Amino acid sequence: MAEVRQATVRTMRSRGGAMLQARVSDGRRDLSLTFFAKRVGVLQNHERKLVPGRVGLFTGTVGAYRGELQLTHPDYVIVGLDADDEAAAMVQASRPIPIYPASAAVPTWRIARAVRTVLDPLLPEEMPDPVPAPVRARHGLRSAHATLHDVHLPVTDDDWRRGRRSLRFEEAFVLQAALARRRALVAAQDAVARPGVPGAAGILHAFDERLPFALTAGQREVGRQISQDLAAPRPMQRLLQGEVGSGKTVVALRAMLQVVDSGGQAALLAPTEVLASQHLRTLRLLLGELAEEGMLGAAERATRVVLLTGSQSAAARREALLAAASGAAGIVVGTHALLGETVQFADLGLVVVDEQHRFGVEQRDALRAKAGTTPHLLVMTATPIPRTVAMTVFGDLEVSTLTEVPAGRAGVTTHVVPAGKAAWLERTWRRVREEVDAGHRVYVVCPRISADDADRAAGDDADLVAEATGGAGEPDGDDDSLLPVLPVSPGLPDDRERRPLRAVDEVAAELAAMPVLAGVEVGVLHGRLPASEKEDVMNRFAAGQVQVLVSTTVVEVGVDVPAATVMVVLDADRFGLSQLHQLRGRVGRGSAPGLCLLVSDAPEGTDAATRVRTLAETTDGFRLASVDLELRREGDVLGASQSGGASSLRMLRVVRDAELIAQAREDAVALVAEDPDLSEWPVLRDAIELWLDPQREEFLDRS
């Protein structure tokens, strides 16, 4: 929408014909309009309309000519001129004009005419309102019919502001009612109470006694909440979130042991084989002889912890399946392979889902279906979720948060390394050598596996690695051959757009050839490697036989090597903020301080530079999550994309509208508490079914 500043018609001597050139401005930037014709007379209609001082809406494909932006043969309407008569023109010129998401083929004013075609004959009784009248009255909201007129046919600015707020509230209310209804339905289901065993008779008590460290106050409080949930005859529905390294695994293990003490089994679902194997090692290390039931040296009260992944040998898989089906294994750790039809449990009492955003609802459903009654559910995420997002996305889960980091951890210092400064890069690799000489380990993370991989600029936050098929036909989520990588920001120099992203294979070769790293063993880890090789390189890295591990983001979550002190992230500006926070959390987990070096060439002022700089400024995961949310919006909160480009929210934004969402949640919860089936409010029930459709509402079911 811009004002015409000048318009001139001239004859083109060199090529013949005529050309009209106009310049319009929105007060901040100018745009040139160009029209060509065989004769000057053909352009007179444009010349009569494009009079300096008039305001119009212009649409077309923006091009560039001699360094200036221009529209060639744009479509346009002049405000107050393109109307049926003078009176209509005066009204049109004095009222706010709705701008619709348009294209060059279908401009906004054509959409506006289509809206009027539907809206003008519509009667109030033909527009049922999903927000009950008492709720509308409490918040001063107009009817659905009046709201649509406020938004599409505003007379004043107050009209469209009022209408837009009503639409946002309606969207929030329907979403929160759907969440509240799902929660009520799950709460009405039966579950087996898993109270554990009293006193010192159980494995949980024995585990607490052998812990080499004291639980934090937060771990004790969250553990108490979970214990109470498990002891109730209704399904636990709890989200456990916490800072990187806050000790979520210990809390989850204590919950699993309470279920085992109660005669049940627990399943821990991890998104990748690397993480599943890491969990197995961690649980066995923490449990010691408590995880060796049936073996020499086992504790008097013990259980078994087994691993089930898609790439196991047939014999190992058969043994794990038998242990799960017979009940011999109290804890079964696995990837998507746990969801296979051949996997059976004797008495599945608790499902723990790690990094829940990597799993679809169908996968969680498949695991829950293996229990006779609805099992308890504990969802874990290491990505801190701002309260507004948790309230919107996880509205039907109780949320527990761990904010303390266990004592004895030295923390991490973060610095940004300019990729274009050779001296800084040289110092980076000298610093790596110093850490190796001190007996420590180093991660080097790259966005690609090999130089042959095409860059993938999907526009997604890079922490949403696509789930893919593992080595034995089971979807194990480890194939990171094409990681979603954030695109370069618009306006970047051409040389940066063309520069290929760093790849694991080539970086590993470069490091192995560097004189400063002579004698250092460099290992490689990525999703294309067979499971046995991944396991081997991680074991060698943990043992110190490999000192520098060049990897993709397969090490992003859960991998725990206390001797690792340095994380070098190449092309750091091409990763999402939450993913960078997770990567940084892989170092500084022992008593030695950690160092995170973010190698980036993002120009100042871009979102990419903001991400990297913010990470260097703070280790507060909740602040980082809020910044991340503001940069990329909240994503498809009802679907699996979780990226900024395709939000299923129409008018609502979880950061901007936090107060409104809280109001809608309060009203929706109260309404559903009185009428869980919404029998008195059929319009609201229909809106949930129509607006969220069955598949989307199913996604909300985290039971």
pLDDT at 470: 28
| More confidently predicted of 683 and 582 | 683
pLDDT at 396: 65
Whether the pLDDT of residue 282 is over 70: the answer is yes
pLDDT at 87: 63
**In the chain, pLDDT over 90 holds for what percent of residues?**
45
pLDDT at 321: 94
For the segment 263-290, the average pLDDT, to the nearest whole number, is 90
pLDDT band at 693 (very low <50, low <70, confident <90, very high): low
| More confidently predicted of 668 and 88 | 668
Whether the pLDDT of residue 638 is over 50: the answer is no
| More confidently predicted of 492 and 325 | 325
For the segment 464-488, the average pLDDT, to the nearest whole number, is 35
Whether the pLDDT of residue 692 is over 70: the answer is no
pLDDT at 14: 77
pLDDT at 86: 54
Contact status, residue 649 vs residue 171, Cβ threshold 8 Å: yes
Q: Is 399 exposed, middle or buried (0-12, 13-18, 19+ CB in 10 A)?
A: middle
For the segment 267-282, the average pLDDT, to the nearest whole number, is 87
Report the C-alpha gap between 575 and 484 in whole angstroms: 9
Span 333-383, pLDDT tens digits: 998 888 788 899 999 999 998 865 545 555 556 666 777 788 898 988 776
| More confidently predicted of 408 and 268 | 268
Whether the pLDDT of residue 701 is over 60: the answer is no
Continuous segment of H or E residues that includes residue 362: helix 361-368
The bridge status of strand 18-25 relative to strand 2-11 is antiparallel
Q: Where are the beta strands (DSSP E) in 1-61?
A: 2-11, 18-25, 30-37, 55-59
Both tokens assigned to 118? 């539907």
Domains of the chain: residue spans and CATH: 2-119 (2.40.50.140), 126-188+650-700 (no CATH), 203-402 (3.40.50.300), 412-632 (3.40.50.300)
Both tokens assigned to 465? 């690695």
pLDDT at 259: 97
Continuous segment of H or E residues that includes residue 306: strand 305-308
Q: How far is CA 513 from CA 196, 508, 519, in A?
A: 56, 9, 10
Span 194-204, pLDDT tens digits: 999 987 889 99
For the segment 197-212, the average pLDDT, to the nearest whole number, is 89
pLDDT at 549: 96
For the segment 437-441, the average pLDDT, to the nearest whole number, is 96
193-223 b/e with 16+ CB inside 10 Å = b?
ebebbeeeebbbbbbeeeeeeebbebbeebb
pLDDT band at 484 (very low <50, low <70, confident <90, very high): very low
Contact status, residue 643 vs residue 403, Cβ threshold 8 Å: no
Report the C-alpha gap between 632 and 390 in whole angstroms: 17
For the segment 161-169, the average pLDDT, to the nearest whole number, is 95
| C-alpha closest to that of 391 among 134, 685, 669 | 669
For the segment 278-299, the average pLDDT, to the nearest whole number, is 84
pLDDT at 91: 67
pLDDT at 350: 94
Whether the pLDDT of residue 246 is over 70: the answer is yes
| C-alpha closest to that of 486 among 609, 351, 598 | 609
Range of lowest pLDDT (138-147, 205-214, 260-269, 594-603) = 205-214
Whether the pLDDT of residue 683 is over 80: the answer is yes
pLDDT at 494: 37
pLDDT band at 640 (very low <50, low <70, confident <90, very high): very low
Mean pLDDT, all residues of the chain: 82
Sheet arrangement for strand 376-381 = 305-308, 331-334, 265-269, 348-354, 376-381, 237-242, 398-402
**In the chain, pLDDT over 70 holds for what percent of residues?**
81
pLDDT at 682: 94
For the segment 243-255, the average pLDDT, to the nearest whole number, is 87
Range of lowest pLDDT (55-59, 229-233, 458-462) = 458-462
pLDDT at 391: 66
| C-alpha closest to that of 96 among 84, 112, 75 | 112
Span 383-402, pLDDT tens digits: 667 666 666 666 667 888 88
For the segment 145-161, the average pLDDT, to the nearest whole number, is 94
Range of lowest pLDDT (58-72, 140-154, 566-580) = 58-72
| More confidently predicted of 24 and 653 | 24
For the segment 263-279, the average pLDDT, to the nearest whole number, is 89
pLDDT at 475: 35
pLDDT at 185: 81
- According to DSSP, residue 593 is labeled P
pLDDT at 627: 80
Both tokens assigned to 384? 């801190």
The bridge status of strand 265-269 relative to strand 331-334 is parallel
Q: Where are the beta strands (DSSP E) in 529-653?
A: 548-551, 564-569, 594-600
Task: Give this prediction's pTM.
Answer: 0.68
For the segment 628-633, the average pLDDT, to the nearest whole number, is 70
| More confidently predicted of 431 and 457 | 431
CB-CB neighbours of 230 under 10 Å: 26
Contact status, residue 329 vs residue 306, Cβ threshold 8 Å: yes
